[in-house]
Amino acid sequence: MSQPAESAEMESGAIRQRNLDACIRALRPAAELTLTELAKATGLSRPTIAAILGDLVDAGLVTERRESVSGRSTAGRPARGFVLDAEFRFVVGIDLGVHTVTAIVSDLVGQIRNAVDLPVPDGIDPFDRLQLVGEVVKRVLQPLGVDRSRLAGVGVAVTGIVDDRGHVMLATRVPAWSGVDIASRIERQLGVPVVLENDVNMAAVAEHQSGVARFADDVVFVNVGEAVNTALILGGRLHRGHNFAAGELGSLSGSALREDVSPPEIDRRPLLERADGGDQAAEAVVEEYVQRIAEGIATVSVVIDPDLLVISGAFTSQEDSLLTRIRAQVSRTVLRTAPPTIVSTALGHRGVAIGALLRAHDLAARRLVGSSTLEAPTLTVPAGALPVPDSQPRRTSLADKVDRLAERSMPGGRSPEPSPPVGSLGKDLVSDHDLRVAVVGVGMRSAIATWVDRTGLGARLVAAVDKNPQARSRAAELFGAGVAFLSDHRALTSADVDAAIVATPDDTHAAIAIDLMRAGIAVYLEKPLAVTTQASDEVLQVAQATGSRLYVGHNMRHMAVVRLMREIIARGEIGEVKAIWCRHFVGNGGDYYFKDWHADRARSNGLLLQKGAHDLDVIHWLAGSYTRDVVAMGDLTLYGDIVDRADRSSQLMPDWFSLDNWPPLDQVGLNPVVDVEDTSMMLMRLESGVLASYQQCHFTPDYWRNYTVIGTEGRLENFGDSGGGVVRVWNSRTTFDPKGDRSYPIAGDHDGHNDADRLTMQEFLDFVRFGSAAEATPVGARYAVAAAAAATESLRDGSTPRVVEPLNADLEAYFQRNQENSSAVTTTPSSAATS
């Protein structure tokens, strides 16, 4: 075969694999989907999907149902429904611990069906210890009636340094394993494919995919036990290093970490109690202990500069002061503008087995569908799998649920060690029931609330609120008849809901968010944060004063094109960023923004804010800095000439939207008030010295945004901003070269929003339930409003320069601490790189 033919065949195979992965992603959370529904969910054509489904049905992974689909009877031939057979195969994750062996089993869609803890006998022979794997697999499968032959893969986590072939290179706690191919021994015992991994690495993977670090790209995971062990997630991937020992700070010659940092004779809790009570001797011991831990954390933090630093090691609720001390010591040790954000684990000692389970899913994807890119499914525990003890309410933390499953396997019905708490980061953390969520405003952006019940995070939509009575039918259509309908958001209380999504017109954002937070309700606030800088600051002030959680839905931080550009910058492919240009072709602008309240500056301020806040936040994020100075120019150049106006207050945008509304001057039925600019451009100087520009036009024929980022060693530019587009990089000197030196395809759906909306809602729910650090932050949202508001003032005042008012330093520090008050460590304001 010629080289071009071979290359074409490889490219065709890669495209087919991506399409297959997309179908499986769509089928995983669904009860049943038709071809039409799959086409909508994946952006693929029906013939392409039909061919893929045919292969999956033949393989047994997917079942076709030709009866009426899920009760949706239609005239004529019944629709063909397709279901991913969750029980076609199972996967098992095992934590082969020193004192306990834990096994967790899940089906192919990520539902955890059982968990077992097996104590390790004292003095057991190192290789007899491996036989416990077979026993624990037998016990975890037996209640399900599942034979080992139905396992698609097993992930096993062990202590020690493990290479990519399953060899234990060094095991200080079980020295006899050093140099041994442990994976092959276990694989022969089980007769099932096995992947072997380091235990701390697996705990880090679990936190990144299912725990507190789900939305961080660069994570340092620190396990504090008898020694300090670390694991690294870089660019969203586990980093093992050339010798598979990345993050092993205990290997440093002369390091205090080579010694035990927590000798058995030291019981932390009494010491902490005495130290907190003023006992100077206890204080000295605790300070030395904290200093030794903080040295290792600070070292890796300076080198990696992570988004998030997660600490594990069975911290109990009585040890909050220890975590606070570690934060403070690291803050004093790391001499930079903002110390790393440090949070406690959400998964505790269950993280190792959960990480092994996720790796088993990766192995299953390779075996069953040949995919090395299909990510593991979201892990959940179905309610039917849980025992319901009479003595306590049902809890919903993933670690808690695994605990409860495993309790049945232990003598006396208890786990061998308690599950540590998920943290105490504020009064709005919820773990004793499903998160009850309301949506305020049943307009166009309310559809984001349909993701609430589909995240697998123990949340459900319980109420919809809109002052327009006509919204009742739309709410029932979107969310189902079981969701209550209210006409006033002030009727919501913290007894009814834990969180609310505010998706009302922009000029109402601040007042509604403030009402809800004062009622003790966590708030998801659609962007923009508010329509003025003053109102934005007031929202942030109320969030701090009440302790209620605040999240702003800047979903573009989760759009694939933005994350890809940020990854390219982080890898250093274009050097240090010096300039960012964004051109926004708003082809649907006439229908989207000039036929309702958006066209009225009294309601939206201007489209540089309403529409541009998205991109200004992205510019800040890519540059790692906020805007300091702006100057802008703009005008109402086209839509002001259209005299046909209509009151559309009883309608929504789909009622009038059509691609046939062209050319722009043929538009009819504009809003009675049209006084916002339809063409605008602004220039920015950021605090870091980066120069940036943003331009938008609302009557272009095409609808997309184009970024150019120029650095000291190259530039990048995107062509298309959703699935099917590409980001190109130029980093060698040339003349005109349309292809660039490198091209990176943009993954994700074809309108760019659906994937981002799903991830944004997952991030919000994680933030409310577990206190997880979020990519989208109120500080970033505030500076997007402040820059846009200042630019709008400039363009309406003869393009006079404006200085962006900085946020109060104490308020910024509060949000930099992930909205913590009581155990706060004072820091200087952060840059946009972490906000």
**159, two tokens:** 């202590």
Residue at 426: amino acid letter = G
Do the Cβ atoms of 653 and 596 come closer than 8 Å? yes
- Which of 279-283, 649-653, 786-790, 815-819 has the highest average model confidence (pLDDT)? 786-790
- Judged by average pLDDT, the poorest of 213-222, 501-510, 774-783, 815-824 is 815-824
Binned at pLDDT 50, 70 and 90, residue 569 comes out as very high
Q: What are phi and psi of 287, to 5 degrees?
A: -65, -40
Q: Is 282 part of any domain?
A: yes
- Most confident listed range (117-121, 337-341, 595-599, 775-779): 595-599
Highest mean pLDDT, choosing among 171-185, 474-488, 809-823: 474-488
Give the whole-angstrom CA distance, residue 159 versus residue 177.
10
Mean pLDDT value of segment 262-281: 67
116 and 129 inside one domain? yes
DSSP state at residue 717: E
Of 293, 311, 345, the position where a domain reaches its end is 345
**Residue 685 to residue 392: CA distance in whole angstroms:** 56
- Is a pLDDT exceeding 80 seen at residue 363? yes
What pLDDT sits at residue 751?
53
Quickly state the pLDDT bin for 395 (edges 50, 70, 90). very low
The pLDDT of residue 101: 95
Same-domain status, 264 and 329: yes
What pLDDT sits at residue 433? 62
Question: Given a cut of 60, is residue 75 above it in pLDDT?
Answer: no
pLDDT tier for residue 790 given thresholds of 50, 70 and 90: very high
Q: Report in angstroms the alpha-carbon separations of 665 from 236, 590, 673, 695, 815.
A: 47, 9, 17, 21, 46
Instruction: Go through 472-494 and write b for each residue having 16 or more CB atoms within 10 A of its CB, e for each that does not.
Output: eebbeebbeeebbbbeebeebeb
pLDDT higher than 60, residue 555: yes
CATH number assigned to the domain comprising residue 358 = 3.30.420.40
> Does residue 429 lie in a domain region?
no
Three-state SS at 98: coil
Task: Determine if residue 75 is left, alpha or beta; phi over 0 gives left, psi from -120 to 50 gives alpha, anything else beta.
Answer: beta
pLDDT of residue 754: 58
Starting at the edge strand that comes first in sequence, how are the strands of the sheet with 308-312 ordered?
237-239, 228-234, 219-224, 308-312, 342-344
Extract the tokens encoding 778.
């109120």
Give residue 355's pLDDT.
Answer: 96
Domains of the chain: total = 5
Pair 733, 592 in one domain: yes
Q: Would you say residue 308 lies in a domain? A: yes
| Maximum average pLDDT range among 8-22, 33-47, 601-615, 817-831 | 601-615
Same domain, 592 and 706: yes
Which element (helix H / strand E) includes 782? helix 778-795
Strands 577-586 and 691-697: parallel
Cα 816–Cα 818–Cα 823 angle in degrees, nearest 5: 95
Q: Decide: 428 and 498 in contact? Cβ < 8 Å.
A: yes
Same domain membership, residue 635 and residue 594? yes
Helix axes 809-816, 533-546, angle to 10 degrees: 60
Residue with tokens 């076609």: 88
Q: Is the per-residue pLDDT at 151 higher than 70?
A: yes
Judge contact between 768 and 430, C-beta under 8 A: yes
CA 30 to CA 35: how far, in whole Å?
13
21-54 burial, b at 16+ Cβ within 10 Å, e below that, comes to bbbbebbbbbebbbbebbbebbbbeeebbeebbe
* Residue 562 Cα distances to 714, 724, 753, angstroms: 18, 14, 12
How does residue 665 score in pLDDT terms, banded at 50, 70 and 90?
Answer: very high
Residue 585 shares a structural domain with residue 702: yes
**pLDDT higher than 90, residue 278:** no
Mean pLDDT of 25-49: 88
**Poorest-pLDDT segment among 449-463, 503-517, 606-620, 715-729:** 449-463
Is 829 within a domain?
no
Categorize the per-residue pLDDT at 389 as very low, low, confident or very high, splitting at 50, 70 and 90: very low
Rounded to 5 degrees, what angle do the CA atoms 712, 718, 720 make?
175
- For the chain, what is the mean pLDDT? 85
Q: Is residue 714 part of a domain?
A: yes
**Do the beta carbons of residue 772 and residue 346 sit within 8 Å?**
yes
What does the DSSP assignment read for 49-94? HHHHHHHHHHHTSEEEE-S-GGG---SSSPPPEEEE-TTSSEEEEE
User: Which band of pLDDT confidence, cut at 50, 70 and 90, is reported for residue 242?
Assistant: confident
Q: Is the pLDDT of residue 679 over 90?
A: yes
**pLDDT of 595 above 50:** yes
- Please name the residues in contact with 282: beta carbons below 8 A apart, sequence gap of 6 or more: 271, 272, 274, 275
- Would strands 627-635 and 802-803 be described as parallel, antiparallel, or unpaired? antiparallel
Side by side, which strands form the sheet with 100-107? 112-119, 100-107, 90-96, 151-158, 194-198
State yes or no: pLDDT of 79 exceeds 80.
no
User: What pLDDT is attached to residue 634?
Assistant: 98
In this prediction, residue 410 carries a pLDDT of 60
Query: Domain range spanning residue 340?
Result: 214-345
Residue after which a domain boundary falls, among 327, 345, 363: 345
pTM: 0.59
Whether the CB-CB separation of 343 and 191 falls below 8 Å is answered with: no
Shared domain check, 641 and 610 = yes
The CATH code of the domain that includes 501 is 3.40.50.720
Q: In this structure, which amino acid lies at residue 350?
A: R
pLDDT band at 485 (very low <50, low <70, confident <90, very high): very high
Helix spans in 239-388 (H): 268-276, 280-304, 320-333, 351-369
**Residue bearing the bigger pLDDT, 822 or 202:** 202
Q: Same domain, yes or no, for 112 and 65? A: no
Per-residue confidence (pLDDT) for residue 685, from 0 to 100:
98
**DSSP-assigned states of every residue in 662-679:** -SGGG---B-S---S-SE
> Which pLDDT score is estimated for 10?
61
Reported residue count of the chain is 835
Predicted local distance difference test score (pLDDT) of residue 320? 62
Predicted local confidence at residue 702, as pLDDT: 96
pLDDT at 159 over 70: yes
d(C-alpha 312, C-alpha 305), whole Å = 19
Higher pLDDT pick, 312 / 600: 600
Residue 731 has pLDDT above 70, yes or no: yes
Q: How far is CA 23 from the centre of its chain?
A: 21
Q: What is the pLDDT of residue 171?
A: 82
735 within domain boundaries: yes
List phi, psi (to 5°) of 210: -135, 5
549 and 474, same domain (yes or no): yes
Report CA torsion sign: 472, 478, 480, 483: negative
User: pLDDT at residue 114 above 90?
Assistant: yes
Residue-wise pLDDT for 419-442, tens only, equals: 322 222 233 344 446 799 999 999
Angstrom distance (rounded) from CA 526 to CA 517: 15
316 band by pLDDT with thresholds 50, 70 and 90: very low
Judged against a pLDDT cut of 60, whether residue 50 lies above it is answered with yes
- Examine the domain organization and report whether 340 and 198 are in the same domain: no
- Give the rounded percent of residues in the chain with a pLDDT score beyond 70: 85
SS3 222: strand
Same domain, 127 and 55: no
The residue ranking higher by pLDDT, 790 or 820, is 790
Domain of 627: which CATH number? 3.30.360.10
Q: Are residues 482 and 563 in the same domain?
A: no
Residue 835 lies in a domain: no
What is d(CA 358, CA 337) in angstroms, rounded to the nearest whole number? Answer: 36
- Residue 408 pLDDT: 73
* 799 domain-assigned: no
CB 596 within 8 A of CB 646: no
> Which tokens go with 757?
């909306």
